[in-house]
């Protein structure tokens, strides 16, 4: 059985509950059934009490927080009401910036949520600096301060925002801020990657035959969706040149800049502390690989902190959204890979005035299929 609603899988992945995907598939739970799950059904479906309680809380929050439009009915929920207001005020993307950073994502500096006063913002900020429970309150306050946080990031930089809003690095908060900035693009990677990665792999093999032999590990251990991400630096190579070099960035440098593979014995805290930011700018994705056990751990690194992710897909999604939320330029070594994701996957290509040639070539190939 294949889920008629891939959105169910993406929701479980987003909630960090990938272990439930197989169970949901076996029980043929589509999106409509997903929304109708009650306490009795959950007890039969999920035997572990802790996991069941966590799921029930998420499900309740999901329905109240945001319900997607179906069968002609408009989307509803607290977030949708907030976004209706935000969308009215979003201005067109800038068309003057070059595509070395994620463009076209911010509103005008004066475009704030007028329903939240400066006094209320300060109260919420103070609470957030000292509390993270109850979780629902933390998420609500982070959502209500998202617009003002963007103004802070643009005026003083994301490092200052991390000082004033340390909870932004808690699970789900980067994604929530991105949802406010780009609501139409928030789920694009989960929706499109299973199909697009197949095209990427066939395109890579056609243009770079034998490319997998160059990878310094046994790529047969990778899933198809994971392998597709490793193919991106081969297909989309940087247009930049090294400051102290003879030519273009190497493909191996592009792979490492995009996804850094490390042995499972790597101490991730020590690794974060030893990063040379001039050589390996953050954020980027790290995979700790246990070849014997065939297991992997995934992280997104930012400001020498390792944020765990449940899958490589989740790590790439978080890392991409982190570039946008924190207004950080793409690493030169893997800029083309990120631009591909920005324009073709997330469909945020309005402001890209100088599309990298490899991205342009793939777009033509993809559109011709």
Q: pLDDT by residue for the chain (369 residues), tens digit each? A: 344 467 788 888 878 888 888 888 888 888 777 877 877 788 888 888 778 877 877 776 555 444 444 444 455 444 444 444 444 444 333 333 344 456 544 444 444 445 688 889 999 999 999 998 999 999 999 999 999 999 999 999 999 999 999 999 999 999 999 999 899 999 999 999 999 999 999 999 998 888 888 776 777 778 899 999 999 998 888 655 444 443 445 677 778 888 888 888 888 888 888 888 888 888 999 998 876 666 788 999 999 899 999 999 999 999 999 999 999 999 888 899 999 999 999 998 765 667 888 888 888 888 887
Same domain? For 123 and 233 the reply is no
Q: Are residues 209 and 306 in the same domain?
A: yes
Please tell me whether residue 296 adopts helix, strand or coil conformation: strand
Distance from C-alpha of 338 to C-alpha of 331, rounded to nearest angstrom:
9
How far apart are the C-alpha atoms of 166 and 163, rounded to whole Å? 6
328 in any annotated domain: yes
- 175/226 same-domain check: no
pLDDT at 53 (0 to 100): 77
Cα separation, 240 vs 256, whole angstroms: 16
Examine residue 34 and state whether it is found in any structural domain, yes or no.
yes
Same domain, 127 and 215: no
Domain that holds residue 38: 6-65
Helix (H) or strand (E) holding 6: helix 6-14
The answer to whether residue 144 sits within a structural domain is: yes
Order of strands across the sheet that contains 305-309: 259-263, 284-290, 295-302, 305-309
**How much of the chain is in helix, strand and coil states, percent to nearest 5?**
55, 10, 35
DSSP 86-135: HHHHPPPPPSSS-TTS--S----TT---TTS-HHHHHHHHHHHHH---SH
Report the DSSP beta bridge partners of residue 288: 262, 297
Contact 201, 212 (CB under 8 A): no
User: Looking at the domain assignment, is residue 71 inside a domain?
Assistant: no
- Evaluate the CA torsion angle 213, 216, 221, 227 in order and state its sign: negative
**Residue 86 forms part of a structural domain:** no
Query: Within a domain: residue 1?
Result: no
Return the exposure string of 188-197: e unless at least 16 CB atoms fall within 10 Å of the residue's CB, then b.
bbbebbbebb
In this structure, are 199 and 325 located in the same domain? Answer: yes
Number of domains in the chain: 3
Assess whether 215 and 352 both reside in one domain. Answer: yes
Same-domain status, 164 and 194:
no
Determine how β-strand 284-290 pairs with β-strand 259-263: parallel
pLDDT the model gives residue 106: 47
Residue 137 tokens, joined? 């309150």
Q: 262 and 128 share a domain?
A: no
| Residue at which a domain ends, from 162, 181, 200 | 181
Q: Give the three-class secondary structure for 349.
A: coil
**What does the alpha-carbon distance between residue 304 and residue 323 come to, in Å, rounded to a whole number?**
15
Number of Cα atoms under 13 Å in the Cβ half of residue 93: 18
* Same-domain pairing of 207 and 248: yes
171 and 202 in a single domain? The answer is: no
pLDDT reported for residue 17: 84
Same domain, 284 and 343: yes
Is 190 within 8 Å of 10 (Cβ atoms)?
Answer: yes
Strands 295-302 and 305-309: antiparallel
Asked whether the whole model's pTM tops 0.85, one would answer: no
Q: How far apart are the first and last CA of the chain?
A: 27
| The last residue of a domain, from among 181, 199, 225 | 181
Q: Name the token pair of 114.
A: 């007028």
Query: What's the token pair of residue 301?
Result: 């690194």
**Domain shared by 44 and 169, yes or no:** no
Q: Which of 125, 155, 181 is the last residue of a domain?
A: 181
In sequence order, the β-bridge partners of residue 259 are 285
Any idea what the CATH number is for the domain that residue 23 is in?
A: 1.10.150.50
């Amino acid at each position: 059985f294949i889920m008629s609603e891939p959105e169910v899988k993406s929701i479980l992945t987003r909630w960090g509950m990938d272990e439930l995907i197989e169970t949901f598939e076996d029980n043929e739970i589509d999106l409509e059934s997903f929304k109708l799950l009650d306490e009795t059904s959950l007890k039969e479906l999920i035997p572990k009490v802790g996991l069941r309680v966590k799921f029930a809380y998420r499900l309740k929050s999901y329905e109240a927080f945001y319900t997607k439009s179906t069968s002609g009915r408009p989307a509803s929920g607290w977030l949708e009401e907030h976004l209706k207001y935000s969308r009215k005020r979003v201005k067109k993307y800038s068309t003057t910036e070059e595509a070395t950073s994620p463009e076209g994502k911010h509103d005008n500096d004066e475009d704030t949520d007028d329903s939240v006063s400066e006094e209320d913002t300060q109260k919420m900020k103070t609470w957030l600096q000292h509390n993270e429970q109850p979780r629902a309150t933390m998420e609500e306050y982070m959502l209500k301060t998202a617009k003002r946080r963007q103004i802070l990031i643009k005026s003083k930089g994301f490092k200052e925002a991390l000082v004033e809003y340390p909870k932004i690095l808690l699970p789900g908060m980067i994604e929530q801020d991105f949802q406010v900035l780009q609501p139409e693009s928030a789920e694009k990677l989960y929706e499109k990657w299973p199909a697009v990665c197949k095209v990427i792999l066939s395109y890579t093999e056609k243009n770079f035959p034998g490319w997998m032999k160059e990878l310094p590990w046994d790529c047969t251990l990778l899933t198809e969706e994971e392998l597709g991400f490793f193919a991106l630096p081969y297909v989309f190579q940087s247009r930049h040149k090294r400051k102290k070099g003879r030519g273009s960035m190497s493909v191996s440098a592009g792979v490492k800049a995009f996804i850094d593979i490390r042995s499972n014995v790597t101490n991730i805290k020590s690794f974060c502390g030893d990063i040379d930011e001039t050589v390996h700018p953050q954020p980027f994705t790290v995979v700790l690989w246990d070849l014997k056990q065939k297991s992997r751990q995934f992280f997104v690194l930012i400001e020498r902190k390792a944020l765990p992710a449940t899958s490589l897909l989740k790590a790439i999604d978080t890392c991409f959204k982190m570039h946008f939320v924190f207004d950080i330029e793409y690493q030169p070594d893997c800029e083309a890979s990120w631009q591909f994701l920005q324009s073709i996957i997330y469909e945020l290509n309005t402001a890209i005035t100088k599309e990298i040639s490899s991205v342009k070539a793939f777009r033509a190939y993809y559109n011709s299929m």
